[in-house]
Amino acid sequence: MGSLFRSEEMTLCQLFLQSEAAYACVSELGELGLVQFRDLNPDVNAFQRKFVNEVRRCDEMERKLRYLEKEIRRDGIPMLEIPGECPEAPQPREMIDLEATFEKLENELREVNQNAEALKRNYLELTELKHILRKTQVFFDEHEGGANTTESMTRALISDDPNRHMGHVQLGFVAGVILRERIPAFERMLWRACRGNVFLRQAEIDTPLEDPSSSDQVYKSVFIIFFQGDQLKTRVKKICEGFRATLYPCPESPADRREMAMGVMTRIEDLNTVLGQTQDHRHRVLVAAAKNIKNWFVKVRKIKAIYHTLNLFNLDVTQKCLIAECWVPALDMETIQLALRRGTERSGSSVPPILNRMETIEDPPTYNRTNKFTSAFQHLIYAYGVATYREVNPAPYTVITFPFLFAVMFGDLGHGAIMAAFGFWMCYKEKPLQAKKIDSEIWNIFFGGRYIILLMGLFSMYTGLIYNDIFSKSLNIFGSSWRNNYDGSTLQSNQLLQLNPDSKDYLQYPYPFGIDPVWQLAEANKIIFMNGYKMKISIIIGVFHMLFGVCLSLWNHLYFKRRISIYVEFIPQILFLSLLFFYMVLLMFIKWTTYGATPGHFGSQDPEIVKTSAFCAPSILITFINMMLFKHDKNTRPQCDDFMFSGQMFIQKLFVIVALLCVPIMLFGKPYFIMREQKQRARQGHQPVEGNAENGTAGGAPVPASGHHDEEITEVFIHQAIHTIEFVLGSVSHTASYLRLWALSLAHAQLAEVAWNMLLRKGLMSNDYQGGIFLYVVFAGWAAISVSILVLMEGLSAFLHTLRLHWVEFQSKFYGGEGYLFQPFSFEIILDSAGQAEE
Amino acid sequence: MKGCIFNIDAGYLEGLCRGFKCGILKQSDYLNLVQCETLEDLKLHLQGTDYGTFLANEPSPLSVSTIDDKLREKLVIEFQHLRNHSVEPLSTFLDFITYSYMIDNIILLITGTLHQRPISELIPKCHPLGSFEQMEAIHVAATPAELYNAVLVDTPLAPFFVDCISEQDLDEMNIEIIRNTLYKAYWEAFYDFCKQIGGTTADVMCEILAFEADRRAIIITINSFGTELSKDDRAKLYPRCGKLNPDGLAALARADDYEQVKAVAEYYAEYSALFEGAGNNVGDKTLEDKFFEHEVSLNVHAFLQQFHFGVFYSYLKLKEQECRNIVWISECVAQKHRAKIDNYIPIF
């Protein structure tokens, strides 16, 4: 049996590996990705395991690679993707080579960086000095200019000096550069600490300078401080130091300054050439590294993953071999054996590894093989709960029912086509889109569900055709079966007119596919007609869906050999559901086939014909309620029958009684059988009996000790009561719940109609050329609303409702969902997740 | 009523903080940590906790100081994140928390300059939470008055410093007095601020701050024995917002030796218990450790209530304790001195 219907059969295996061959074997298994290893030393600390040193070396290598990558990114050098196949995990001895390569690269790079930083620092200092010389020139010019503010202030400062002419010459000064944002605090502090006895001038450097340690662009300012006396000098210098201002010597005489500026300029020139060479060297190193870096990352990560796995293994007493326990799919034993043999050959070991099957009472993990088409659907199921081991997997049925139920709610040919086109585009461009690795979470959700979207779109187009609904309008493909025979004046003078099916208005044969487009014109009763149709359809689909769910539970019972459950759970459940709700569905069909407005009935006064006319058709809802209450209403119309068919009353009473009788069977049946069995077993003295599979496991569960009987029985009773109540109440509420199919479909149709009437119709009403311009604008609005609200939002809401119908209404009938997922050791998964974490 | 509108401004941050709190190491983690043979082992184990890859980019021979720096860096980043997203009055509350680090930094820098250390050597030792713009120029000042006028007047610490201006010059003794006066003013202001916020915040924070104040008073008293600090001066340094105020503080002011301090603590149930188990013998826990333990339990209790600011304070303090623990364990591991490795203070 294909594993699509059930999860794969798993076996627990014990694996004996030669110490020398273990690495190669695990590497082969990692490429295969079919084996889940179990941790055999869970209480050993991470750092006390055997291969912790190797793991640590890999960590170290990864750190170096990350450093390299950071540097490569900083220089904007493109990193080459790995061409073709992923590199295999290298041999352990290759690890030393790799380590050496990385070590060398890192050291080289660090050295280059250090040199570059020193050079840049030098360069920065020189540039700052250049700016200082240039800006201070202005200060000094002003200073010497004579009768300006500077002059007057210096005079005020030294007013007690008798020799006024020499005054300003004795002023000391320091010049430096400071971060621009620190200027206000710096100025305030200077003022406070020196009691206002200093004079600060500052000018901004327009071009940003590069900070050598972080290579950020920073803005700085040049300042010059004038003061008098040595004490103030030390104080000013201390403050400058505190604010990390760099001070530069600045000669007093203009000639010296000019000379110095010249010297600085030449040194900057020299430095520039050296800096360029350093950068070139760095670039060469990085370009060489960028070619291989992805490849190295993959290698290192593979080695690390292998050693992590080896850490899960047990060492046997002789230290000669490693013992592993693993879950493997039973069907893949051959492939795994082959991989192990390959691994042994590669390592050159002579002793083949041994793969032993083990008996276990543990629940194996759930593993469903998927392809790119089914995996999205399988994930929808897993999102609710991972299937119990080997239970029926609803995913294959979901592939069809999910898009179908969605389409019932989203039935519109136009919107469906948009959705299908989007889905088709994603499927068609699958490979290039996948290779792009787009980060956006929303995009990834859409892209992951591309096949679901495509199917949902296609199914919506189909239901849209059935509803005859395209952007809230109808298509008249085959020609309507109705004709208008009223003359012009009648049409002019009447608001509402009826078409009589029992006249020439109706061509006597129905519209071949879907709803007749004539209903588009029926403003008064279109909604009423569609509601009746869609509601009944919803209930019919719902009841079939649920019945199918209950039937799937039979497969589960048969597979797990739960004989009693078939008799006291499955049979009563299916009886209950079909006698009440499937009967209601039958009534709908009877009503559709028996009653009609076809000619020969309508105008006729023949009592037999009147009884089968639409005039006499009973309400299904009222009939069903009466059935449950055991009463029957006299038909208010004297010419009609009370019943739809003869013996209806008797059959209905019988059905209800049988259905109600099923409830106590569901409630007490299973606990009773379990109790009886336990008593028997107690009498026979704890001999295992044939039917102990009630516990749910197919394997032989241990016989419970007799001391726990009472508690267990009450537990079984409570459990069963909950299940019964859930089923009985559930079948009512779940049936009603399927009405959401109708409700959402109605809402969608109405919204689409509002969008059409409020927007596009307004744009189409005008006749002259302005109408064209207006239409141009209005169409944009209508299209935007159609896509954003009607396709995206409505689509999302319909999707969620469909999900609910599957999780709750369908799966509650058979799905346990108590398993855990099979997580194989696979390089592919490990590399993917490592790559994602990095981004 | 306050609880209802608490979440508008601080709900997100409280949630964030509680999330951070869940990352605090458990007893089982410590049990694993103390088994480490080398610092590499320690790093490997910390990778499995909430610290994640915080040491992943450090080159291999790890030193304890790198671990310390990285631990602190992580904590500071978290705290700054909370601070940057906060609004009044929470932002003031968080600022208040940083003031104590500022005080520590100032004292560190003054002491450093007193011992003729270059400022560039001292700056890396300062706690990043307590750094402020004028900090590095602190060595300009030679007297407390200058310190106030030139440096501190623009910082939020200015109001706390007013009491210290009268001190004559900066020597060892005076620095210690300045520190304690600053702390006294700080605790009292913080206490008043929490009272003013009211509600659960006041309930929780006043409890913690009262303990801090009392601890300081007791430690000042014990440390003052055998120094030239007069009893009057000593009494001036006691923060007056604790449970010891006023009778206990008066009694402490009169105390002459350790036994008398113990006798004073006898009157207060929670403190007498701390003195009970403390001793200086090998294997005994010191009084300081006892205080730390009590602080941890108070801070853990802060998380039992919701809709208050105490969680932010408590989180920071618990995390600091955790950093101290990890550093302690790493020191023991690095120095191969395993006898005292169990002297950390478990948090959960």
Instruction: Check residue B281 and give its pLDDT.
Output: 67
Q: Is the pTM of this model over 0.80?
A: no
Q: Which residues of A touch B109 (CB under 8 A)?
A: none
- Split at pLDDT 50, 70, 90, the class of A634 is confident
B308 contacts B48 by C-beta, under 8 angstroms? no
Residue A182 at interface with chain B, using a CB cutoff of 8 Å: yes
Of B48, B56, B154, the CB nearest to A46: B48
CB atoms near residue A49 (< 10 Å): 18
Residue B151 at interface with chain A, using a CB cutoff of 8 Å: yes
The CA-based angle A710-A714-A718, given to 5 degrees, is: 170
Q: Which residues of B touch A244 (CB under 8 A)?
A: 136
Instruction: Check residue A783 and give its pLDDT.
Output: 94
Disruptive mutation site among B60, B126, B134 for chain A (greatest number of A CBs within 10 Å): B134
Of B58, B59, B134, the CB nearest to A185: B134
- Does any domain span residue B40? no
Instruction: Check residue A577 and give its pLDDT.
Output: 94
Q: How far apart are CA A95 and CA A300, in angstroms?
A: 8
Residue B137 at interface with chain A, using a CB cutoff of 8 Å: yes
Contact A193 B150 (CB under 8 A): yes
Alpha-carbon dihedral of residues A807, A810, A815, A820, nearest 10 degrees? -20
Instruction: Check residue B241 and give its pLDDT.
Output: 87
Residue B74 at interface with chain A, using a CB cutoff of 8 Å: no
Contact A185 B133 (CB under 8 A): yes
Sort A493 into a burial class: Cβ within 10 Å, 0-12 / 13-18 / 19+.
Answer: exposed
Residues present in chain B in total: 348
Whether pLDDT at A666 is above 70: yes
Contact A46 B150 (CB under 8 A): no
Instruction: Check residue A694 and give its pLDDT.
Output: 44
Q: First CA to last CA across chain A, in angstroms?
A: 41
Whether pLDDT at A811 is above 90: yes
- Does any domain span residue B263? no
Instruction: Check residue A156 and give its pLDDT.
Output: 45
Residue B123 at interface with chain A, using a CB cutoff of 8 Å: no
- Ranked by mean pLDDT, the top range of A536-540, A690-694, B157-161, B172-176 is A536-540
Q: What is the mean pLDDT of residues B119-137?
A: 83
Q: Which residues of A touch B58 (CB under 8 A)?
A: 63
A682 contacts A712 by C-beta, under 8 angstroms? no
Give pLDDT tens digits for B131-142: 887 787 777 777
- Split at pLDDT 50, 70, 90, the class of A691 is very low
Instruction: Check residue A547 and give its pLDDT.
Output: 95
Instruction: Check residue B2 and give its pLDDT.
Output: 66
Whether pLDDT at A709 is above 70: no
- Split at pLDDT 50, 70, 90, the class of A161 is very low
Instruction: Check residue A586 and give its pLDDT.
Output: 94
Disruptive mutation site among A66, A189, A240, A311 for chain B (greatest number of B CBs within 10 Å): A189
- ipTM above 0.85? no
| Structural domain count of chain B | 1
Q: What is the mean pLDDT of residues A260-283?
A: 88
- Split at pLDDT 50, 70, 90, the class of A598 is low
- A546-550, A751-755, A784-788, B161-165: least confidently modelled range: B161-165
For the record, the structure tokens of A667 come out as 């409630």
Residue A170 at interface with chain B, using a CB cutoff of 8 Å: no
Q: What is the mean pLDDT of residues A692-706?
A: 42
Whether pLDDT at B16 is above 80: yes
A561 contacts A698 by C-beta, under 8 angstroms? yes
Give pLDDT tens digits for A30-46: 888 889 998 888 877 77
Give pLDDT tens digits for B44-94: 888 878 887 777 777 777 888 888 988 999 999 999 999 999 988 899 999
Contact B140 A238 (CB under 8 A): yes
Contact A242 B41 (CB under 8 A): no
Q: Searching chain A, which residue's CA lies closest to the CA of residue B28?
A: A45
Residue A615 at interface with chain B, using a CB cutoff of 8 Å: no
Q: What is the mean pLDDT of residues B285-307?
A: 88
Whether pLDDT at A837 is above 90: no
- A746-750, B22-26, B165-169: least confidently modelled range: B165-169
- Does any domain span residue B144? yes
- A156-160, A819-823, B80-84, B186-190: least confidently modelled range: A156-160
- Ranked by mean pLDDT, the top range of A416-430, B190-204, B221-235 is A416-430
Contact B150 A192 (CB under 8 A): yes
Instruction: Check residue A151 and give its pLDDT.
Output: 45
- Does any domain span residue B157? yes
Instruction: Check residue A678 and give its pLDDT.
Output: 85
- A148-152, A328-332, A720-724, B164-168: least confidently modelled range: A148-152
* Helix, strand, or coil (residue A376): helix
Q: Which residues of A touch B57 (CB under 8 A)?
A: 63, 66-67
Of B35, B58, B119, the CB nearest to A241: B119
Contact B134 A242 (CB under 8 A): yes
Q: Give the sheet arrangement for strand A246-248, strand by strand.
A: A199-204, A220-227, A172-179, A246-248
Chain A closest CA to B63's CA: distance in Å? Answer: 16
Residue B84 identity: N
Q: Which residues of B touch A197 (CB under 8 A)?
A: none
- Does any domain span residue B115? yes
pLDDT greater at residue A326 or residue A137: A326
Instruction: Check residue A772 and give its pLDDT.
Output: 86
- Does any domain span residue B117? yes
Q: Searching chain B, which residue's CA lies closest to the CA of residue A244?
A: B136
Instruction: Count contacts between A and B (CB, < 8 Å).
Output: 66
Chain B closest CA to A100's CA: distance in Å? Answer: 15
- Split at pLDDT 50, 70, 90, the class of A429 is very high
Contact A47 B40 (CB under 8 A): yes
- Split at pLDDT 50, 70, 90, the class of A152 is very low
A36's enclosing H/E stretch is strand A36-37
Instruction: Check residue B17 and give its pLDDT.
Output: 93
Q: How far apart are CA A247 and CA A45, in angstroms?
A: 55
Instruction: Check residue A705 and give its pLDDT.
Output: 45
Of B58, B137, B149, the CB nearest to A239: B137
The residue range of the domain holding B143 is 86-184
Chain A closest CA to B161's CA: distance in Å? Answer: 17
Q: What is the mean pLDDT of residues A344-366?
A: 84
CB hemisphere CA count around A623 (13 angstroms):
23
Contact A63 B59 (CB under 8 A): yes
- Does any domain span residue B298? no
Q: How far apart are CA A39 and CA A53, in angstroms?
A: 19
Whether pLDDT at A58 is above 50: yes
Disruptive mutation site among B30, B39, B44, B135 for chain A (greatest number of A CBs within 10 Å): B44
Give pLDDT tens digits for B247-258: 888 888 888 888
Give pLDDT tens digits for B176-196: 888 888 899 999 999 999 999
* Helix, strand, or coil (residue A311): coil
Q: Which residues of A touch B32 (CB under 8 A)?
A: 45
Q: What is the mean pLDDT of residues A272-300?
A: 87
Instruction: Check residue A546 and give its pLDDT.
Output: 95
- Does any domain span residue B174? yes
